[in-house]
Structure 1
């Protein structure tokens, strides 16, 4: 697909509804149901079989995005799940081959376009307005926030674009967080340590102030993917909405909130406006006492946090006949949201330091998009021998939550884990090709990163990062040539075959 064609398609896809219309043109990318569904565990229970994939307990599969048109107890709402749970679907949404998404996102960082603010009367996200001061206002009956499982701490918003400004500099940041409905106008917000919005919250709290914030749900997926970039690619103060601008070739449109001094995404399906209250915490499972939060990306249910900050909701606005977007925590939706920006970050950093050495990067489903990366190495001469391991070290620097890096040669398909494991089987010796880096801070949601699991771990969230070098030593490459087959036109024998394999 040419850049010009991609630019035209991106210009036509600027909100959730236009993207859904685009997906309807393809087979097996989008389905709807009119069967009434309960948002409490049943909705996710259905999609687990339809298309969740990822680290969800088997049986599950890669399948279409799904809209539930009838939500029990919520007459006007529809719920979309699994929009990004297929890499091929992400590629179609962004207008690039699925193997080129890392480069597409890397380039978008360098072509970033700052968001703009439009007038309130132009913002479709404010077609309907509910103020918390209205009699009878209650988040629990207003929005059909699902639970993933029966033991969740409560209903969660899992695909909310949380947007706020640094109270000292005015710089903005957008990220996705675990948001649990705790009452008629309260939402708890879980921060993994180091997140930028948490830094904004801490600054406001230290000054004794609330932090105005908006949560935009149901937006252009380019925004959702761009929001998942992390340092060092997007340092504190870098507004990731500008990456979505670079992806689409047009600025993301924002609108001033109706009840708080914060901006929201103007074409969102739903916007929640509120304030993070200083010095106020709640127990995440205060209503269920299960000790559980919700299923997280490693495939396990996260522990409920004893004390999490709280958003006091001031208003909810939405489009007419809105679509609430959600996801299953361990699904491949997380793999693609987290993994593709990680691929772009690794590719960008390694290319700057070691030009031409790494052909491509993939963060596959079993690694959850965060814990595992496969680097495709192109050793051009004997001088490149050993640099593949430098590339792995750079990958750890580019993304601090990475746990395992697999290095493979240029003839290995990094998007086919069968091929990666084949390389590990025939081009790897455990005693010579495994590099351990113990005692490094990683991610707290991996349950193996705990002293109870291994005496070598000093504190929860610390791990042994590992490099698996499955590349052939340069001087032996001639001995590891794969069998070469004749190139043929399969369509001559099976007409339309190439279309079926795309």
Structure 2
């Protein structure tokens, strides 16, 4: 695929997808934001860990949201690895390497004047007596059980009260009242939580902007985590490297913070110190929203809250959303993890890891397949070292499959074939009990197994499906004639 640097925001991304057959559809059919919109996309293209039937399909724009005249909602922009490749001008199987290259040459964001910021073409202040964020931002619910309308693709931007260093991440944001938004922090996993804790310790609110509907490069870059991007590293510089131009920020109008200048919507607000509310205050169901493992997350009993100061947006804005358990999460969380594993293992064991795939079955976080090549007998065992390096760096990883260079890590059938013919459970399984995992895994709880002492502290596993080096000659795959099939079936093999 050729590089395409014409994408600078959500609108240009959608325009690019319109030119590629099968990548974007629109509908003017009336749709309810409450559960129906996500219910439709479940069938059209959600994929991921969504309950079957689902599929990989095009992104979709809904132009007629019931009860919200003029509102439009885009969903599934990143719900396909192939589509991410189109948006970045890179082959899908090379995206981890592509992001790894971007990490090596960051481009810092720049600040532009307010009058040039498209995100502030229309301004709504919370001091207006008619202000209600629930009427201004067409945030859908994924299911009828959700705690409320959720912003699932809000780029949360805040700064360290002490150092001034800024960070951007995606969080679970529920519209709770006309000017209140709850914000879920995975314990110990996000830099913004550190910023919030510092401000709260001083009894001060933490200014925060939430930019919705942005360049997909920003959405992907925001999902990088430590140790690849340590505290103080601004992930917007990765997005700048992807596009080879700096991300443009602008000053918020009501808080001392920046926002994405060409976002479709921006919510300006402050995290209120020492104030919490139940996430399901409006429903009392104990449920939040669908999360990436494929289950509905539990509502947090005491969750931090943002008091909204203003909502700004472009003229005729496009709301962007995703289904929490869809392939979209796999793209955003998984591809940066692939890049990070490639970078880390290459430093320790150069030239052996050929590729990494964070599989959709793990939501992009729980499961990785590492393609490893053993060059000499001395490489035997290094494949396990590569897996343990990945585990040490990314506590959310639960299972790692190791495969040889002749196995396609992106083909689940090929991986399972390797597991069937190159794996013996009693010698090729490595268990690491009592290790910190992700709290949203429902099996990682003391109720599931008495071996688990604390929720989220359970067992990681390595499935070594590589052939022992001294036996490689006995595991050669059947060799077929190499040729160009396009001469015989040109319609099945289009030019790349």
After TM superposition, the score normalised by the length of structure 2 is 0.99
Give the match for residue 58 of structure 2.
64
- Please show how residues 174-323 of structure 1 align to structure 2 within 5 Å: 174-194=168-188, 195-323=190-318
Contact 1:228-1:338 within 8 A present in 2 as well: yes
Separation in 2, partners of 1:344, 1:282? 37
Paired positions, count: 495
Give the match for residue 168 of structure 1.
162
| Partner SS state of residue 74, structure 2 | strand
Q: Deviations over 1:41-87 (max 9, x none)?
A: 00000000000001101100000000000111111220000110100
Give the match for residue 53 of structure 1.
47
1:345 aligns with 2:340: yes
Contact 1:345-1:399 within 8 A present in 2 as well: no
1:436 aligns with 2:402: no
Cα distance, 1:495 vs. partner? 2.2
Give the match for residue 415 of structure 2.
420
| Partner SS state of residue 114, structure 1 | coil
- Please show how residues 458-473 of structure 1 align to structure 2 within 5 Å: 458-473=453-468
Contact 1:106-1:347 within 8 A present in 2 as well: yes
Contact 1:276-1:310 within 8 A present in 2 as well: yes
Cα distance, 1:21 vs. partner? 0.8
Give the match for residue 456 of structure 1.
451
Give the match for residue 382 of structure 2.
387
Q: Deviations over 1:159-198 (max 9, x none)?
A: 0000000000000000000000000000000000121101
Give the match for residue 101 of structure 1.
95
| Partner SS state of residue 490, structure 2 | coil
| Partner SS state of residue 341, structure 1 | helix
After TM superposition, the score normalised by the length of structure 1 is 0.98
Stretches of 4+ aligned residues off by more than 6 angstroms: none
Cα distance, 1:469 vs. partner? 0.3
1:88 aligns with 2:82: yes
- Please show how residues 348-427 of structure 1 align to structure 2 within 5 Å: 348-427=343-422
Q: Deviations over 1:353-388 (max 9, x none)?
A: 000110010001101100010000010000100100
Q: Deviations over 1:235-281 (max 9, x none)?
A: 11111011000111010000000111110000000000000000110
| Partner SS state of residue 174, structure 2 | strand
Contact 1:132-1:185 within 8 A present in 2 as well: yes
Which of these residues, 124, 127, 134, is aligned with residue 140 of structure 1? 134
| Partner SS state of residue 276, structure 2 | strand
| Partner SS state of residue 316, structure 2 | coil
| Partner SS state of residue 493, structure 2 | helix
Separation in 2, partners of 1:257, 1:189? 20
Separation in 2, partners of 1:413, 1:431? 24
| Partner SS state of residue 237, structure 1 | coil
Contact 1:35-1:70 within 8 A present in 2 as well: yes
Separation in 2, partners of 1:239, 1:414? 31
| Partner SS state of residue 402, structure 2 | strand
Extract unaligned runs of 5+ from structure 2: none
| Partner SS state of residue 36, structure 1 | coil
Give the match for residue 122 of structure 2.
128
Give the match for residue 477 of structure 1.
472
Q: Deviations over 1:107-140 (max 9, x none)?
A: 1111111100000000000000000011200011
Cα distance, 1:488 vs. partner? 2.4
Separation in 2, partners of 1:110, 1:231? 15
Separation in 1, partners of 2:456, 2:488? 54
Cα distance, 1:463 vs. partner? 1.4
Extract unaligned runs of 5+ from structure 1: none
Separation in 2, partners of 1:453, 1:16? 42
| Partner SS state of residue 273, structure 1 | strand
